Structure 1
Amino acid sequence: MSTLAMLGGPRAVPRDVGETGWPVITRADEEAVLRVLRGGVLTATAPGEPEVAGLEEEWARYVGAAHCAAVGSGTAALQLALAALGVGPGDEVVVPAVSMNATALAVAQQGATPVFADIDPRTFCLDPAAAAAVTGPRTAALLPVHLHGLPADMAELGRLAARRGLAVVEDAAQAHGARYRGTRTGALGDAGCFSLHPSKNLPTCGEGGLVTTSSADVDRAVRRLRTFGERLDQERTRSYVAHAVGWNHKLSPVQAAMARVQLAAMDDHARRREAGIRELLDRLGRLPGLRPPHVPSDRTHVWHILRVRIVPEELGIDGVPAGAVRRALHRVLRAEGVPVSRYQEVPLPDQPAFTAKGTGGDAARDPASFPVARAVLDDSLCLQRRHLNPGSAPALRAYADGFAKVWEHLDVVGRMARSLASSRGGAA
């Protein structure tokens, strides 16, 4: 049995482990950016600008949606979709308790109220039963998040929306290309919202977003609102007349050009990374006390983030809070070179922006609320970004070796966890 790295032994993961950088920038990406710079058409509103329109057409075709509008960020995509569907002050929008803060911020930025619902303990996506429980007379929309790359239960959420007359906006920022019952994310609701941030499965050189929809009216509204409320679709020469209160949420042609190249490679990247990810998750699933991601049979996962849950009792660490065990494992695994992270420390309803009066929270939030969300964030660790490189299989193999090595020293982990629990009460 090799000595733990934190006790002076060698790291399980070599420092030169292999390819883990993301995004993968190729000569084609560089040439696409240079093509735009040399052409001199540097804004989306320039007459005849080809890159933004090209990306919109290609993404709509890929998703299977009738329309796509390219915008400045994933957050802008969410806000524009909500605005285009008429969500505003006085409305409530059901949001999962676990997501990137932008999901709820987009609702608040529209003057609406995010109302939080708990998540499913295995998929980590919005629980349809919890969503139904918080839906009321002011509810205007559901905002399911396809968290970590796995689609939410859109059939059940769709039935809830149909019963209550609600709009459905998909937050698909982490789920490019994932399928639910054969249909790609972005074509499962009234609007689908994607991010092109460099950390995403479909990246660009900076920020960017995409809004897909089957509704010509929604698409037209998004396009007007992203450019100061102007009716560019009806003007031969731009008049700079605002017909609605809009924003400057346009996408740069430079970013669109790079995203088009990345889109052409996206499915190949996904295919090449799949085997390494599956091998890693299979090995982790054999270790006692670890729960790898669950993928229901009616959907696919694109593995934007890998989250594993920890069951202390199965590790032989009884009577210790899960948070203390997670913190101990985090320290030991990081010392071995396994780049685990926590990714989100508290549920959205506990974040200060949403506990203030008027933003959908309650300053006296009951700690017993959202039990699944709290448990998941307390007892899980994540791998982010490094596994997205299509050549990351050797690194993932080394990460699995690191987990296996640590599992040979669970007695040390247990002692550390008990010490952490006694010194900090087991708090996260």
Structure 2
Amino acid sequence: MSDQLAMFGGRREVARAENTRERTGWPVVTEAEREAVLGVFDAGLYTSNDGGRGAVSGLQRDWAAYTGVRFCAAVANGTAALELSLAALGLEPGAEVLVPALTFIGSAIPVVRRLLVPVFVDVDPVTYTIDPAAAEAAITPRTRAIIAVHLHGLPADLTALRALADKHGLHLVEDAAQAQGARYRGRAVASFGDINAVSLNVVKNLPTCGEGGLVTTDDEELHERVVLHRQFGEDLRAGRDRDYISRVLAGNEKLSAVQAAFTRAQLSRLDANQAARDRGVRAFLARLAELPGVITPHCPPDRTHAWHILRLRFDPAAAGLPDVRPGAFRAVLARALKAEGVPVQPYQVVPLPGQPAFQRLAGFGGYPWRLPGVAPVSYRIEDHPVSLAVIEDSLTVQRVHLNPAAAPLLLRFADAFAKVWANLDVLAPVARAVDYRPPWQAATTTAVSA
């Protein structure tokens, strides 16, 4: 291990040649995917209108069986899956839906597109998922649903959220876009909510060759509503001739058979990939946990972590630098680690209520916020101190570890962390002098007006 940091002219700890496609490429494409895709061409069944015989219907059956639910509908992408879930619930325009403040904006956009009002809720400081106590405090007479985002691949506290939803007569919707393969108390995620959404984006743990989504439920009526909304409100159940009659006003959110076939092949390896990933990630995090001031992701014993994203927090006081601001410490660490070859980056740098679109209430001509009966809304990021603290002092490692062969590279990243920590005395003056602004300020001041 070289002594001098690469950002000051030393040798890079992790050489670029070590970061190979074989170790980090994702998704891993095998002959199984190639044969599955070619099989679609041979069968000539390219859409979800396959009479139950094509790849889309096959994927729906496979995912329903994997998650242990009765029904699954494949759709165009994960955002569509969440929006169609909300559409199936039939929530009245202007109703409120609880959404965690720390998540990707794709968890909130479907709410607005259904003319529902997102109410942002702070997250738990340990799991980074929606805080059940904060969620209960946010409930009003207009609240109709809770979206439980399994952020970074860790299931939210589904026991507490299910109890909360039942207590107040609310719908529970799982957003499992980042948690395919994770389990909560022995059950697969995307099986606990009244209706649940999954993304199959190419970078997800269960990917397709592009975009895709899945909606699961045990409620037959909700499932039928999703299927109606998937293609122009038409009833396209197997065994029926297409009549081109729209039962509801809806768009076109179908998944192609090529994408479904690709995902079916990936699903056959999901658990094996997750087991290998879990071993590699845990070995990496064990190394990092030995370094003072590094806070590694926590996984409660009643659930498993899909490890879609690794969020690392940094405590300068615990690292022996009590006079260094957490944000400045994180910013300088980012420079040092990237120079050593570790692909760290900030992620979700603005809580959702601080996004310019929500600050301006830039929905559909100001709707849903202009609907009659909707209480005046002012989204304030300072109302979500845990989300701000997590953003302020954390960096993420993304995607390179999804490949089950990435374990040796992760240990090399751990070597780079150790090198940086051995040089904290060199970095401290830089952190004290850096011209620093919180990431949400830097991002929002450069936002382009609509």
TM range (shorter): over 0.9
- Look up the match of 1:386: 400
How many angstroms does 1:98 deviate by?
Answer: 0.7
- Look up the match of 2:54: 50
How many angstroms does 1:424 deviate by?
Answer: 3.3
Q: What amino acid sits opposite 1:424 in the alignment?
A: Y
> C-alpha deviations, 1:108-165, integer Å up to 9, x for none?
0100000000000010000000000111101010001011111101111111111110
How many angstroms does 1:272 deviate by?
Answer: 1.6
> C-alpha deviations, 1:152-211, integer Å up to 9, x for none?
011111111111100000000111121111111011110111000011000010100001
Q: Does 1:242 align with 2:243?
A: no
> C-alpha deviations, 1:207-246, integer Å up to 9, x for none?
0000110100111110111111111128722111111011
* 1:197 match: secondary structure: coil
- Look up the match of 2:431: 417
Distance in 1, matches of 2:65 and 2:42, equals 28
How many angstroms does 1:265 deviate by?
Answer: 0.8
- Look up the match of 2:443: none
* 1:309 match: secondary structure: strand
> Contact 2:400–2:406 (CA<8 Å) still a contact in 1?
yes
Distance in 2, matches of 1:359 and 1:117, equals 19
- Look up the match of 2:13: 12
- Select the residue among 375, 378, 402 that pairs with 2:389: 375
> Contact 1:320–1:426 (CA<8 Å) still a contact in 2?
no
> Contact 1:20–1:387 (CA<8 Å) still a contact in 2?
yes
Distance in 1, matches of 2:162 and 2:200, equals 26
How many angstroms does 1:40 deviate by?
Answer: 2.8
Q: Does 1:401 align with 2:402?
A: no
How many angstroms does 1:48 deviate by?
Answer: 5.2
Inter-CA distance 88–412: structure 2 relative to 1 (3 Å threshold): farther
The TM-score, its normalising length taken from structure 1, stands at 0.96
- Look up the match of 2:140: 136
How many angstroms does 1:99 deviate by?
Answer: 0.7
Inter-CA distance 232–425: structure 2 relative to 1 (3 Å threshold): closer
- Look up the match of 2:90: 86
How many angstroms does 1:37 deviate by?
Answer: 2.5
Distance in 2, matches of 1:137 and 1:405, equals 54
- Look up the match of 2:293: 289
Distance in 2, matches of 1:22 and 1:260, equals 16
How many angstroms does 1:366 deviate by?
Answer: 4.2
* 1:268 match: secondary structure: helix
Once the two structures are overlaid, the 10-residue window that deviates more, 229-238 or 175-184, is 229-238
Distance in 2, matches of 1:211 and 1:34, equals 26
Once the two structures are overlaid, the 10-residue window that deviates more, 108-117 or 363-372, is 363-372
Q: Does 1:148 align with 2:148?
A: no
How many angstroms does 1:296 deviate by?
Answer: 0.9
How many angstroms does 1:46 deviate by?
Answer: 4.2
Once the two structures are overlaid, the 10-residue window that deviates more, 312-321 or 15-24, is 312-321
Inter-CA distance 282–207: structure 2 relative to 1 (3 Å threshold): same
Identity over aligned pairs, percent: 50
How many angstroms does 1:333 deviate by?
Answer: 0.2
1:261-280 to 2 correspondences below 5 Å: 261-280=265-284
* 2:214 match: secondary structure: strand
> Contact 2:77–2:212 (CA<8 Å) still a contact in 1?
yes
How many angstroms does 1:411 deviate by?
Answer: 1.5
> Contact 1:71–1:251 (CA<8 Å) still a contact in 2?
yes
> C-alpha deviations, 1:28-58, integer Å up to 9, x for none?
1112112213433222224454100000001
- Look up the match of 2:195: 191
1:93-104 to 2 correspondences below 5 Å: 93-104=97-108
How many angstroms does 1:396 deviate by?
Answer: 0.2
- Select the residue among 229, 232, 246 that pairs with 2:233: 229
> Contact 2:93–2:116 (CA<8 Å) still a contact in 1?
yes
Inter-CA distance 194–425: structure 2 relative to 1 (3 Å threshold): closer
Q: Does 1:114 align with 2:118?
A: yes
> Contact 2:277–2:407 (CA<8 Å) still a contact in 1?
yes
Q: Does 1:214 align with 2:218?
A: yes
1:333-372 to 2 correspondences below 5 Å: 333-357=337-361, 358=367, 365-372=379-386
* 1:314 match: secondary structure: coil
Q: What amino acid sits opposite 2:40 in the alignment?
A: V
How many angstroms does 1:321 deviate by?
Answer: 2.3
Q: What amino acid sits opposite 1:403 in the alignment?
A: F
1:171-186 to 2 correspondences below 5 Å: 171-186=175-190
> Contact 2:150–2:176 (CA<8 Å) still a contact in 1?
yes
Structure 1 residue ranges, 4+ long, deviating more than 4 angstroms after superposition: 46-49, 358-367, 425-428
Distance in 1, matches of 2:382 and 2:341, equals 35
Distance in 1, matches of 2:186 and 2:137, equals 28
Inter-CA distance 139–64: structure 2 relative to 1 (3 Å threshold): same
- RMSD of aligned residue pairs (Cα, Å): 1.7
Distance in 2, matches of 1:80 and 1:287, equals 45
> Contact 1:293–1:306 (CA<8 Å) still a contact in 2?
yes
- Look up the match of 2:447: none
Once the two structures are overlaid, the 10-residue window that deviates more, 180-189 or 29-38, is 29-38
Inter-CA distance 72–316: structure 2 relative to 1 (3 Å threshold): same
Distance in 2, matches of 1:14 and 1:384, equals 18
Distance in 2, matches of 1:365 and 1:250, equals 34
